[in-house]
Amino acid sequence: MKDVEKGRKEGVPGVEGVVVDGRVWGKPLVRLSRPAPLMGTVFIGVIDRGTNVLQVRPTTLCNLSCIFCSVDAGPSSRWRQAEFIIDDVEWLVTWVEEIARYKGVRVEALIDGVGEPTTYPRLVELIRRLKESPWVESVALETHGQSLDERVVREWERAGLDRINLSIDTLDAMKAKMLTGVEWYDLERVKKLAEFIARETRIDLHVTPVWIPGVNDEDVPQVVKWAVEIGAGKRWPPATVQKFLEHRHGRKPPGVREIPWNVFWRRLREWSRELGVNLIPSMEEWGMRYARKVPEIYREGDVIRVVLVAPGWLKREVLAVSADSKRLVTVVGLKRWNPGDEIDVVVLRSKDNIYVARPA
Ligand code: SF4
């Protein structure tokens, strides 16, 4: 990304594979590579939630400022204190393969994240390497589409990308600028590219508007209708609707409240009937199935030794590597710390191999 300033590379004493290299939007940019573990946080690396889909998160960067962003991404972020990127594509693919091997299934590698995956400079290489792996059945990518052009899409197609999950939240150009929080978001261009993907490439298109109650109630069904009309859903369902989620550290448009799940599902059933499109596809329709989950290594209450390596992605958090080098761990509640400090921590949260801990 153009906004990345080059700075002095600062390695972490005693820890290989973690380097703070320059700044982006005034925040440190932390680069991960072999042999740093690529599992353990929600924001970078690989997440296994017990199905044949693995979430692959190569970067936290995003160049939009969506006003509803539940992960507070982009230049206008208030809660983030650092951004992260995985430099080493081979290492990331190795983690995907090792996890898939343990699960005993060929997986879908879903490239997503707490940022915009298309900002990842080595995305084509990542898609190609994932697609070449005998452990990967399909490769999908989530995007808001702001950085696409036909040449890029063709590169992804040649690299073997199977599906693009495109988030378009309205068909109104001005509203799209308002929702994405940037004047330069060009909805017409994104729509044309969506049509190009659906009609002229082998890549499937799946459209995923976020429903923000009271803000785009009329827009969501229009987006779904448009998705079907342009030919989305060659192999997977053409569209699903995402729920607006309120997070403590997320962004929320003024006056908007998160609705209960039963209200959300009821509205989706109504839209499905009205539009003749199933907006609540089953796991089978998605090609999803349960698959053995990589067991958590540490349990809540365990005391483990970690090495502090970098600021965490959110304020008042620190990223650590477990002393056995098996997982990343987010440490909260530290007043002072230095890169390379080794401390004991108590695990507070342990779910899906995502760990949060505090000093013991
Ligand atoms: S919703 Fe997605 S595209 Fe929008 S700011 Fe957040 S991470 Fe970026």
CA of 42 to the centre of ligand 1 (A): 15
What is the value of pTM for the model shown? Answer: 0.95
Q: What is the CATH number of the domain that holds 333?
A: 2.40.50
Same domain, 192 and 328: no
Domain-embedded: residue 314: yes
Domain-embedded: residue 331: yes
Domain-embedded: residue 108: yes
Same domain, 225 and 328: no
CA-proximal residue: ligand 1, atom 1 (nearest): 69
Tell me how far apart the alpha carbons of residues 320 and 307 are, in angstroms, rounded to a whole number: 5
Longest C-alpha distance within the chain, in Å? 60
Domain-embedded: residue 14: no
11 pLDDT more than 90:
no
CA of 180 to the centre of ligand 1 (A): 8
CA of 242 to the centre of ligand 1 (A): 13
169 lines ligand 1 (CB under 6 A): no
Same domain, 318 and 208: no
- What is the H or E stretch that residue 231 is in? none
ipTM surpasses 0.90: yes
Domain-embedded: residue 116: yes
Domain-embedded: residue 211: yes
9 pLDDT more than 70:
no
CA of 85 to the centre of ligand 1 (A): 16
Q: Which of 146, 127, 125, 126 is nearest to 193 (CA)?
A: 146
Tell me how far apart the alpha carbons of residues 188 and 176 are, in angstroms, rounded to a whole number: 10
For 188-239, what is each residue's pLDDT tens digit? 999 999 999 999 999 999 999 999 999 999 999 999 999 999 999 999 999 9
Q: Which domain covers residue 312, as residue numbers?
A: 303-359
Residue by residue, DSSP assigns 336-358 as S--TT-EEEEEEEEEETTEEEEE
Domain-embedded: residue 206: yes
114 Cα nearest atom in ligand 1 = 7
Task: Tell me whether strands 342-351 and 354-359 are parallel, antiparallel or unpaired.
Answer: antiparallel
